[in-house]
Amino acid sequence: MLTIYGIKNCNTMKKAFDFLNDKGVAYEFFDYKKSVLPKADFDKFVVLFGDKVINKQGTTYRKFDDDTKAVLMSDDTFAIYEIIKDNQSVLKRPMVMGEYQGKEVALIGFGDEWEQVLA
């Protein structure tokens, strides 16, 4: 089963939901607005995606001061998690993890690779 992580009202998330629904792909939705991302999941994202987990184009990131941005771009996953657990909108969306048709899936952002991985 796939889990898609994000915020329900995000335009990119809406495209991702539409894609999954149109393809008939079963998924669970982890809503950053309703639940705090577990540290273990965050650590897994960092291992797989590196600093791409931080959405540097979003308004949440842009509102941070330079010191906070420096922490977010550091290698200190504990300090980064301490910031993001209260500011989950700074995470890139969507992130998709899980198993689909017997393969492990790990996607970040919505793009062309979705068609290849989830065809």
* pLDDT at res. 87: 96
Say which CATH number the domain at 52 has: 3.40.30.10
Range of the domain at 67: 2-117
Whether the Cβ atoms of residue 80 and residue 52 lie closer than 8 Å to each other: no
Residue 77 CB contacts under 8 Å (≥ 6 apart), including other chains: 42, 43, 46
Is residue 4 very low, low, confident or very high in pLDDT (cuts 50, 70, 90)? very high
Residue-averaged pLDDT of the chain: 95
Per-residue pLDDT tens for 55-80? 999 999 999 999 999 999 999 999 99
Query: What's the pLDDT score for residue 119?
Result: 78
Torsion of CA 1, 32, 77, 95, to 10 degrees: 40
Q: What is the pLDDT of residue 79?
A: 96
What are the catalytic residues? 10
Could you give the number of structural domains in the chain?
1
Confidence check: pLDDT of 19 > 90: yes
pLDDT band at 34 (very low <50, low <70, confident <90, very high): very high
The mean pLDDT of 35-51, rounded to a whole number, is 95
What is the DSSP secondary-structure string of the chain? -EEEEE-TT-HHHHHHHHHHHHHT--EEEEETTTSPPPHHHHHHHHHHHGGGGB-TTSHHHHHS-HHHHHHHTSS-HHHHHHHHTT-GGGB-S-EEEEEETTEEEEEESSSTHHHHHT-
